Structure 1
Amino acid sequence: MSKGFSKEFLWGGAIAANQSEGAWDEDGKGMSVADVIKFHSKIYVKDYKKQMEITSQQIEEAIKDKSEKKYPKRRGIDFYHKYKEDLALFAEMGFKTLRVSIAWSRIFPTGEEEKPNEKGLEFYEELFTEMKRLKIEPIVTLSHYEMPLELSVKYNGWEDRKIINLFVKYSKTCFKRYKNLVKYWLTFNEIDSIERHPFITAGIIPEQCKNIKQSIYQAFHHQFIASALVTQECHKIIPESQVGCMLTKLTTYPNTCNPEDVEKTLIKNLLNYFPADVQVFGEYPVIIQNMLEKENIIIKKESGDEDILKNNTVDFVSFSYYMSLTESANENSEKTAGNTIFGVKNPYLPSTEWGWQIDPKGLKISLLELYDRYKKPLIIVENGMGAVDKVETDGKIHDDYRKEYFKKHFEQMKEAIEMGVELFGYTSWAPIDIISAGTSQMSKRYGFIYVDQDDYGNGTLKRIKKDSFYWYKKVIESNGEDLE
């Protein structure tokens, strides 16, 4: 019986290329779907879905506009040039691991080149080499909301089966180049999010679809096949490698004990689990198949697809967890925002400034649910709270609210481990302030390290250690025992 975090537990943090690197048009990099996402000063519940959508006209305007002003993900926090400085800070905190992503369009600018961009390959080789020098284990995501824009415009993204082979080629290129540097790989970031924001996740432009839901589920299938083929290739090229899937854990409770609320909650959670079910069990859940048939959603499959899925399942399950929501049959129930989603507000929970409800107990519940369902090793690869941080006159940032958030979540993680959950790591989102995925804001800060940049790109980009920096350093040194 475990009494806490194992000695090998991987403490660290997580960032994404499109939110941190910048250098969007340097060294041969092509445009990605992230490079056409505009800044929004605030996302409100009623506008949430609308602000995550995009049109062909907006894409054309973004392609013509070469500036970074309206498109914050183009500039990020200049991690591309400052990665050694940032890695040194992570090493000072004692990081055992760092989750990063590779920008696909930095390796294959349009996605269809015969040969990869050497400058892009060199950057990540230098990044991973520096991480290994600092004894920071890389966890690398192959697709994290940054597919080449050309593949979206030309093929409507993952709706087209042609993307599978292009993704496999890109992935094999990475495996061969970094086989001595990277052991842990993730295929798709929050793969379930295709339904919530199809363009960012899968390059799908809604107006190009005859039936948007049909397009979404066809894209799901193509990503499932790609994930399985990539898992197979990774195991061949890097025999000791571990490949995981990645799920947005959108933990949802019934708003009341009304059986209608309970049923709606059950269906919502089944849909949330569905993509991970396919990648872990190697087959489509029967209930999901029946639901799609009733809606006349017919997924086009090729001969051999079932065997590909069944024979190449993932080694572990990774997930993000930020908040929980509730579900209600009452259409007039009060709503609140969450991680690229909104749902019914829970009256028992506090909220962040962006309306995300803070629920540490929900993390323990999520760990128990996931481990009981999949019986695979788990790793939390995103967890944190966005907040407005204030730099005091002495240059310090006192973020006790962040320390309190993490403390309560770590306590619940430990309890889950003691109940038998096989949790082998944790990477906070994001250990350094980066551009927000949903709003493209800079003022929505998650980091232990402050970056001097505002929502409009003004600032020196100076890195400043927050109070939470020293606190997380102490947590890692004590392997999760000292949370005060």
Structure 2
Amino acid sequence: TVARTMTARRIPTASMQSRSLLLFALCLKILPLHGEPGAGKAIWEMFAKHSYPEDDLFLYDTFPPGFKWSVGTAAYQVEGAWQQDGKGLSIWDTFTHNVNQSNVTGDVASDSYNNIYGDITALKTLGVTHYRFSISWPRLFSNGTVSSLNKAGVRYYSQLIQELKKIRVEPVVTLYHWDLPQSLQDTYAGWSNESLVGLFRDYAEFCFQTFGNDVKYWITIDNPYVVAWHGYFTGRLPPGIRGHQALPYRVAHNLLKAHAAVWHLYNNTFRQVQGGQVSIALGSHWIVPRNMNKENITACQCSLNFVVGWFAKPIFIDGDYPTCMKDNLGFLLPVFSELEKNAIVGTADFFALSFGSVLSFQLLERAMKFEQHESLNLRQALSWIKAEYNDPKIIIVENSWFGSDKIRTEDAKYMYYLKWYIAETLKAIKYDNANVIGYTAWSLVDGFEWHRGYSIRRGLFYVDFQSLYKKRIPKSSALFYQKLIEKNGFPPLVENQPIRGTFPCNFAWGTTTNSIQVKTTPSQFTDPHVYIWDVNQSGKLIKVDGFLTTVRNPHCLDYAAIRHQISLLKKMHVTHFHFSLKWSSILPFGNLTQVNSTFLHYYRCFVSELNRVNITPVVALWQPTAQYHWLPSVLSQHGGWSNLMTVQAFVEYARLCFKELGEHVKFWITMNEPNVRKLPFSDGHNLLKAHALAWRLYDKEFRKTQKGQISITLHADWMEPAYPFSRNDTDAANRVLEFFIGWFAEPIFGSGDYPHVMRDWLRQRHSIGLYDTYLPYFSDEDKKLIQGSFDFFALGHYTTLLVHQETEDRSKYNYDLGVHLSKDITWLSSPNGTAVVPWGLRKMLNWIKLKYGDIPIYILSNGIDDNLYQRHDKLRVYYIENYINEALKAYKLDGVNVCGYFVYSFNDIAELAHLAHGLCSSVINKDMPKLSLGSYSKIIDSNGFPSPETPEQECPEELPWCPERSICQMRKSLLAFIALICFVFIITMILIIYYSHKCDKRYK
């Protein structure tokens, strides 16, 4: 009453709809929220306590035997033939022709009315057990009453049902899917008139009598919430009425009565003979609280009760509306008599759920979210229904996602949403004991998508609406659904099972960080401050004019910071530590005109101390990162890597580092992931030359005395075809791999030139007038310089991406490569959105072996971000264990020459602390070891994942450092060969002496 008075006084000129919406919002704020005291309120807290990340992992399992696999359509969306064979007008015919003024109608749509066999063939291809479709009321009764029977319509549905029976597909028939006869709207004002209860009962009785012997599942009304709210209040859907605030609730009142009348009709007259079941399809959303407190949970409960509970509580609980609706709406909500309550309660043989379709397509009113967050979590919605409505049998009668109207047959996004929804349904069954007995993918074919017309597609089969015959062409999602039905879910795969085993004794276990920086306090390696030694006359550094002079005492005089950092590394039990030098700090001007001896001295101290505790330094000369300068500023100002001067400067810088640090460094990286950023091809060209020159320099001048190894590290995330059976997606994924990895790898590890895929693709782009990219050519001399400039293959691997040739989301579209990069929605993700896909590492390692042969491979960087404010980084623990296990599979099962594994990163990076990649925390507690550090240490101590029943691996206590097993094996083979030669030589000499002596005796 207060709200009504306020509305009347303040907005007398507002429209009926605006007043109603404001009234609704005011009611929500003035009246307290009293959620239904059902068990459903416990669901949010229950899921908040579930184990992470285990509960979020994909479940490989199968559905219960006899599970109902279905697909669905609605009459107005697919039938077409809007005036054919005596069909009457529906409110959708009128609405699309007259009201929306868009000239987008369902007049023809997919033309299923004239294409029964096309739909039957599609159903047979899928292998479904059930098919949900709706009967068009005006196609059976042109004016909505039994006196206007249309025999052609009866023949159509009879033929459809008989054809379904022939292929052993059970029909699931919806009596009313929004297409009310226009005549009933004109005569009775539609569902706002209680007279429609009797008319609907008459229509249903005819359907039961005519088709009931062959139909075992009936749906009375589809999504009454949409019919009432958007048909008679917002006017967004037919009949397009923007009614007063009480009208949608009166409409819903009549819909409930109509449903109950039809259920009782079937129960009393037809059930005993026909043996079928009847329900009503209720659309539901899912909502999550902004904060896990009592007030927000109550708001979420009320949000669900205002949509699904509006109809479910009267039917499944007590014949009356939810308490929170009564409290918030007051006089707006009609009242059931006791007789009506008794007639409504219990009028459903199963819970028919529609989820993730209509309500998620902009049809859920903002006010009905009660300021909480809408979600697409089907599993939690199923658990809520189980708790709230006394564990009913649930059939999901509509569920899917949507794709762009430009998508034809390769609908990867739709397919992965479908996979996700079905996987969540499986979890609800297996983990939460929800009694889900069937699933319906929506829809069979592309059609008219209600208020969105043809701007989106939801069919498993593609239909060209402009074609004459409307041929049904299976999409990727159709083939996926077909295989899923065939397997009855997601049976466990052998390749997904972890294996037991250990790595070789000389396996390199390490950790990495972007760069160590000299600093004043024992903490991060990545702080930009300079470590200052105390100034005195005993040979320590002296500050002059703001600069530190050259160190006179060659010994490291202050180990406080270094020793603290190394003590943390020792706690990990690592054998190697990978870090990058900072070029601009060692050579401020990029060349040898000024050398910062402070930094060189610190690095020398650091690597020598690492060696002292038997930790092998793995040192990168240069790393392009966002938080540090790419190059010394002087070089950047003169064009950076596009200038050959930078190439020569890098070689000089490399020579200095080899000379000053090489005594303590046996493992060099010229450049650390230079392909991680999008560089001009000309810059990449010079980077390759710089790498090769540095490698040749070390090989010629330093290798013999320093006995080290040197190579380059490449960023190498795996690219998986979005649909692996699509040639387009497979080619696209290979193209991305060649452009991202082969760009640098092929010249060094392969042919000495860029991949053919790159040249062919760029040539194709140039042929259509796109000259924005040019790939330089190497001279023969350059090829000889670059090819073979490696001692091992080092990579940084973090995640896997899906590659799709067609695209609808231009914001994530790579125009240069003509692909769309995305993720499988079922993949586990980090707080920053990085997908956790362990098997991608194994595929990446096998790709390298296939492309470049059996060369030694080091995984020099592998890691993920986790919750910044949690020491118990369970996601990272899972990530490390499973990625290492995939590396073990590559080594033991695939024969990949995996020589080492390094976790990224040693600690949280100060400038990127919000990502929290570290095994040690830099945010909560200074250098506090996290849970993942202990987990990683245990794997190192076990050298992998040894089987409990196998003997413990025996390794020499002091194994000589060997950066690559193949070289070690070569040395062993060489020693064996030399021993054999010596043995043969000795035997030969003995024989010669023997026979010489014998000959001498005979001669004498």
Amino-acid identity (%): 26
Select the residue among 25, 30, 38 that pairs with 2:83: 25
In the TM superposition, residue 466 of structure 1 has moved relative to its aligned partner by 1.5
Structure-1 residue corresponding to 2:397: 381
Shift of residue 265, structure 1, vs aligned partner: 2.7
Partner of 1:332: none
Q: Which of 336, 339, 342 is the aligned partner of 1:307?
A: 342
Which of 434, 457, 474 is residue 465 of structure 1 equivalent to?
A: 474
**Alignment match, 2:440:** 427
The match for 1:222 is 254
1:18 maps to amino acid: Y
Task: Give the aligned partner of residue 158 of structure 1.
Answer: 191
Shift of 1:302: 6.9
Q: Is the 8 Å Cα contact of residues 140 and 153 (structure 2) preserved in structure 1? A: yes
Change (3 A) 1:302 1:254: closer
Q: How do residues 114-193 of structure 1 correspond to structure 2 at under 5 angstroms?
A: 114-193=147-226
* 1:149 to 1:389, Cα distance in 2 relative to 1, 3 A: closer
For the 8 Å contact 1:157–1:203, the answer to whether it is kept is no
| Paired residues of 2:70 and 2:128 also in contact (CA < 8 A) | yes
Match of 1:475 in 2: 484
Match in the other structure for 1:13: 71
Q: Which of the residues 251, 258, 271 maps onto 2:286? A: 251
Shift of the 26–459 alpha-carbon distance from structure 1 to 2, 3 Å rule, reads closer
2:88 matches 1:88: no
Q: Quick check: 1:277 aligned with 2:313?
A: yes
The worse-fitting range, judged by mean Cα deviation, of 397-406 and 284-293 is 284-293
For residues 114 and 464 of structure 1, do their structure 2 counterparts lie closer, same or farther at Cα, with a shift above 3 Å needed? same
**Hey, what does 1:267 align to over in structure 2?**
302
Q: Structure 2: how far apart are the matches of 1:298 and 1:247?
A: 19
Amino acid across the alignment from 2:351:
V
2:381 pairs with 1:366: yes
On the 8 A contact 2:79/2:109 being kept in 1, the answer is yes
What is the CA deviation profile of residues 110-137 of structure 1, one whole-angstrom value per residue up to 9, with x for unaligned ones? Answer: 1134252222112111111111111111
In structure 2, the partner of 1:101 is: 134
Greater CA drift, 474-483 or 457-466: 457-466
Between the aligned partners of 1:406 and 1:467, the Cα distance in structure 2 is 11
- Structure 2 counterpart of 1:413, which letter? T
- Partners of 1:158 and 1:202 in 2: CA distance: 14
Which residue is equivalent to 2:715? none
Supply the distance in 2 between the matched residues of 1:99 and 1:233 (Cα, whole angstroms): 21
Cα distance between partner residues in 2 of 1:411 and 1:380: 13
In the superposition, the TM-score normalised over structure 1's length comes to 0.80
Match of 1:320 in 2: 354
From the superposition, tell whether residues 13 and 136 of structure 1 become closer, same or farther in structure 2 (CA, over 3 Å): same
Alpha-carbon separation, structure 2, partners of 1:237 and 1:297: 37
| 1:219–1:129 Cα change, 3 Å | same
Q: Which runs of 5+ in 2 are unaligned?
A: 1-60, 493-723, 725-1004
**1:357-376 deviations in Å (ceiling 9; x for gaps):** 884xx111011111122221
Report what 2:975 is aligned to. none
What is the aligned-residue RMSD (CA, Å)? 3.0
Per-residue deviation, 1:249: 1.2
What runs of 5+ residues in structure 1 fail to find an aligned partner? 40-57, 63-68, 326-336, 347-355
1:38 positional shift: 3.1
Superposed CA deviations along residues 378-429 of structure 1, whole A, max 9, x for unmatched, are 01111111112656xxxx7222222222222222111111121111111111
Distance 2:338 2:350 in 1: 27
Query: Does 2:442 correspond to 1:409?
Result: no
Equivalent-residue separation in structure 1 for 2:295 and 2:322 (angstroms): 22
Q: Which residue of 2 aligns with 1:351?
A: none
Which of 291, 299, 311 is matched with 2:327 structurally? 291
How far 1:96 sits from its partner (Å)?
0.5
Residues 16-55 of structure 1 mapped to structure 2, 5 A cutoff: 16-38=74-96
Q: Is the 8 A contact 2:350 2:392 kept in 1?
A: yes
Shift of 1:244: 1.3
Q: Secondary structure at the match of 2:184?
A: helix
**Range that drifts further, 266-275 or 458-467:** 458-467
Is the CA contact (8 Å cut-off) linking 1:322 and 1:339 kept in structure 2? no
CA distance in 2: counterparts of 1:408 and 1:229, whole angstroms: 37
Cα distance in 2, alignment partners of residues 289 and 397 from structure 1: 44
1:449 to 456, 461, 484: 461
Paired residues of 1:24 and 1:35 also in contact (CA < 8 A): yes
Q: For residues 400 and 231 of structure 1, do their structure 2 counterparts lie closer, same or farther at Cα, with a shift above 3 Å needed? A: same
Which SS does the other structure have where 1:196 is aligned? helix
Amino acid aligned to 1:381: V
C-alpha spacing 1:339/1:280, structure 2 compared with 1 (3 Å)? farther
For 2:363, the equivalent position in structure 1 comes to 340
Corresponding residue for 1:44? none
Amino acid at match of 1:321: F
Equivalent-residue separation in structure 2 for 1:401 and 1:195 (angstroms): 32
Task: Read off the aligned partner of 2:481 and give its amino acid letter.
Answer: Y
Shift of 1:257: 4.5
Do 2:305 and 2:322's aligned partners in 1 also have CA atoms closer than 8 Å?
Answer: no
CA distance in 2, matches of 1:115, 1:24: 16
1:302-335, Cα deviation, whole Å (9 max, x unpaired):
784233223x51110111111799xxxxxxxxxx
What is the match of residue 756 of structure 2?
Answer: none
What amino acid is the match of 2:352?
S
The Cα shift of 1:267 comes to: 2.0
The aligned counterpart of 2:451 is 438
Is residue 193–residue 201 contact of structure 1 (8 Å, CA) maintained in 2? no
Task: Confirm or deny: 8 A CA contact 1:159 1:204 kept in the other structure.
Answer: no
Q: Tell me if the contact between 2:91 and 2:238 (Cα under 8 Å) persists in the aligned partners.
A: yes
3-state DSSP class of the match of 1:313?
coil
The TM-score with structure 2 as length reference comes to 0.40
Q: What is the number of equivalent residue pairs in this alignment?
A: 422
Asked if 2 retains the 8 angstrom alpha-carbon contact of 1:196 and 1:341, the reply is no
Distance in 2, Cα, partners of 1:233 & 1:114: 20
Aligned mates of 1:463, 1:98 — CA distance in 2 = 16
Kept in 2: contact 1:149–1:203 (CA 8 A): no
